[in-house]
Amino acid sequence: MPKDNVNHPEHYTKHPSGIECIEVTRHMGFNLGNAIKYIWRADLKENTMEDLEKAKWYINDEIKKRKGNNLTSPNTEFTCKKCGNKYEGYVYTGYCGFCTFTKQQNKRNRKNEKS
């Protein structure tokens, strides 16, 4: 069977557990998922220290974001101030995704009307 360097590169599939890292990280946020990915594959690639430094960078970025924005753990449930719908996320923005999108659209429309 030919190598599939796009969907299943060798360093993705040769972990001793027999599963691909994405099976775990797809359930995580971006920074934590990337940190786990680099740790997971560190000993499976040539430059272990580089991968560990990358993992450290993503962990530090996540810590900085959480400290600076009072971020919560993933899947924290919030209530939208405008429509009352429940939504999940890391940070309380006050509005669900739909209301945020609508607010941005209205702002763009007003700007275009002035032009």
Q: List the chain domain ranges.
A: 10-69, 76-114
Measured between alpha carbons, how far is 18 from 72 in angstroms, rounded to an integer? 32
Residues in the chain where the model's pLDDT stays below 70: 1, 11, 69-75, 89-93, 101-106, 108-109, 115
Enter the DSSP assignment of 90: S
**Which DSSP string do the residues of 61-79 spell out, in sequence order?**
HHHHHHHHHT---TTEEEE
The answer to whether the pTM exceeds 0.85 is no
How much is the pLDDT for 103? 65
Stretch (H or E) spanning 47: none
How much is the pLDDT for 71? 56
* Cα→Cα distances 5→2, 37, 77, Å: 9, 17, 38
Q: Which two tokens stand for residue 99?
A: 């209301």
